[in-house]
Structure 1
């Protein structure tokens, strides 16, 4: 659900990464303060307006939220049973709004710009032994591995469908095992590449 940068020249694309990170934090905190379903509805409309302002294709926007659908359904159902309709709407709405805002940040901001801000924020901690550059590298690898792993799972799932295994039929292990093995191989390849460049700890 972490989007890849979509090139553009919208107002949101031109906002500095540091300011966008600050606004994201404020937005997430603000959503947590909402207390009424109608307020959450306004927040959802605001997010839709931001995506429109960013001129992000709707197919791309939906791709960020599609993996979240089942999580929202499960969470909303749980809250509906144990806490009522209003609470269910608020929790599910907050989840969708916050994930959508975070995805919008990555869709309109280059990863390098986000990492530069993170490294700048971590510079004061260099005095206590933290290496901002190394942490920035770790963040870059983490962000890169999200779509990598998602792609691996998608390829394994497509292979199962090609063999006639549709939906939830068959063992979950049949999907998880090859996906994990391929992910570990990819991790080994990345590790070897880093070692070859002198980064081995």
Structure 2
């Protein structure tokens, strides 16, 4: 099951409302993907590393970055193969920045606060269609918490493969990662069904 990634604290990031963090994450993601600038993506990456280091400590920022590395390398590798080195740098830095931002948001926000913020935001739009805003809030909360868990799983699989002397190909990472993700998704679905 998903480990709890929230870390209590009293930093500015901890004191920001969950809605502001989600809005910032959505805005950053939108801008990074709408503006195809390597410099913007690299700047966002530097800022997200600095913010994570200042908020959670250098060690935690380093761990988060290392855990994200296999996914970033996988995406950048595909871009390098199909679109060239600049596209690989652009997509790799975008993804790394967003993974760090999501990890920072997840580490400084209680999951219940995330779910509540999403519920308040989407309730007026979804209730007329008979969609339960509480379920949407829970789904978004799980998705945000899933990012650092996904990066950690990829890192764990890479380390296990290296210990066994296996090759470091993308397929060797992707297959066990997808299997573990499906297993986790089933466990989460069972927990949600049991809760409702």
> What is the TM-score when the length of structure 1 is the normalising length?
0.68
Aligned to 2:129: 128
2:6 alignment partner, SS class = coil
Deviation of 1:183 (Å): 5.4
**Pairing 1:40–2:41 present:** yes
Q: Which residue of 2 aligns with 1:5?
A: 6
Q: 1:50 to 1:76 in 2, by over 3 A?
A: same
Determine if contact 1:2/1:64 at 8 Å carries over to the other structure.
no
Q: Which residue of 1 aligns with 2:16?
A: 15
Stretches of structure 2 lacking an aligned partner (at least 5 in a row): none
* Distance apart, 1:98 and its partner CA: 1.1
Q: Is the 8 A contact 2:77 2:88 kept in 1?
A: yes
- Deviation of 1:115 after TM superposition, in Å, equals 0.5
8 Å CA contact 1:2–1:102 kept in 2: the answer is: no
- Alpha-carbon offset, residue 120 of structure 1: 0.8
Moved over 4 A (4+): 137-148, 178-189
User: Equivalent residue of 2:122, what SS?
Assistant: helix
Conserved 8 A contact 1:13-1:109: yes
For 1:2-151, list aligned pairs within 5 A.
4-54=5-55, 56-124=56-124, 125-138=126-139, 147=149
Cα distance change on mapping 1:61 and 1:2 into 2, 3 Å: farther
Which segments of 5 or more consecutive residues in structure 1 lack a partner in the other structure? Answer: none
**Range with greater deviation from structure 2 (125-134 or 114-123):** 125-134
The structure-2 alpha-carbon separation of the partners of 1:108 and 1:166, relative to structure 1 and needing over 3 Å to count, comes to same
Provide the rounded CA distance (Å) in 2 between the counterparts of 1:33 and 1:76.
Answer: 18
Q: Look up the match of 1:168.
A: 166
Does the 8 Å CA contact 2:14/2:109 hold for their aligned counterparts? yes
Query: Deviations 1:113-163 (Å, cap 9, x if unpaired)?
Result: 110011112221212211223444455566778859x78xx6x999x89xx
Larger Rg: 1
Partner in structure 2 of residue 190 of structure 1 = 191
Q: Is the 8 A contact 2:53 2:61 kept in 1?
A: no
- Looking at structure 2, the residues matched to 181 and 34 of structure 1 have their Cα atoms a distance apart, in angstroms, of 33
Separation in 1, partners of 2:27, 2:76: 24
Superposition deviation, residue 27 in structure 1: 1.0
Q: Which has the higher helix share?
A: 2
Distance 2:187 2:116 in 1: 26
